[in-house]
Amino acid sequence: MMQVVIATLNPGKYRELAEPLKVIGWEPRPLFDFGFELPEETGTTFEDNAFMKAATVAQKTRLSALADDSGLVVDALGGEPGIYSARYGGRTNDRDRNVYLLERLRGTPLSKRTARFVAVLALAHPDGHVETYRGEVEGVILEAPRGTGGFGYDPLFYLPDLGKTFAEMTPEEKARYSHRAKALEKLIEAWKHGPPPREIWPLE
């Protein structure tokens, strides 16, 4: 069975990544088991940051490592908080970040509160090869939180087609409709018959 270190310190992400990997027969290992820190996220894109986290952990553990860099991209805020979602406004917990987001959107009508969640998964192998998979989901930022499930901005992120926020969904529903679920779907599709072919530089 392939052991994969889940290179995250966010327990909400861990839960959502580990279960689907068990389904395809991989053995998820929490980063906590190894006592490593994650590198500082100095990249300018979700891809850069996911790559850095996965590659660092694969190199240190000599195992394959899966990292997730994700965030909320709000149109009326020019794409904020984006890659800075975990530290938005310098706020240090989910509740305060949600309050801050609502403050930033005060006076913005519902029709202009469109947003998307983005997740980029990077799967790095100890030989240095890295694969990335991206998932996105469109929604609307509500004017007040709804629901108690999930984590992060879930109580404010509403899917009009489903009539629910992510925090009002069951874990199974979130595991079907989320940005992370869509990225995982691509990873699982790529790996369903074993390791996917690697891109090779063309030799002119």
Per CB under 6 A, residues contacting ligand ITT are 8-10, 13, 38, 41, 68-72, 85-86, 117, 150-154, 166, 178, 180
CB-closest chain residue to ligand ITT: 152
Q: How far is CA 151 from the centre of its chain?
A: 12
Q: CB 104 → ligand ITT: shortest distance, Å?
A: 14
Cα-flanking dihedrals φ and ψ of residue 202, to 5°?
Answer: -70, 135
Name the residue nearer to ligand ITT (CB basis): 19 or 41: 41
User: Please, which residue, 160 or 196, has the CB nearer to ligand ITT?
Assistant: 160
Smallest distance, Å, CB 88 to ligand ITT? 7
Q: Please report how close the Cβ of residue 23 comes to ligand ITT at its closest, in angstroms.
A: 19
Contact assessment for residue 183 and residue 121, using Cβ atoms and an 8 Å cutoff: yes
> Six-digit token pair at 75?
């149109």
**Spatial distance between the Cα atoms of 18 and 4, rounded to a whole number of angstroms:** 9
| Active site positions, annotated | 69
- Residue 64 or 200 having the CB closest to ligand ITT: 64
What are the residues whose beta carbons fall under 8 Å from the beta carbon of 160, sequence distance 6 or more? Answer: 139, 140
CB of 24 to ligand ITT, least distance (A): 20
The residues near 184 (Cβ < 8 Å, ≥ 6 apart) are 17, 20, 21, 121, 133, 135
For residues 114 and 189, give the distance between their C-alpha atoms in angstroms, rounded to a whole number.
Answer: 29
Nearer to ligand ITT, 68 or 80 (CB): 68
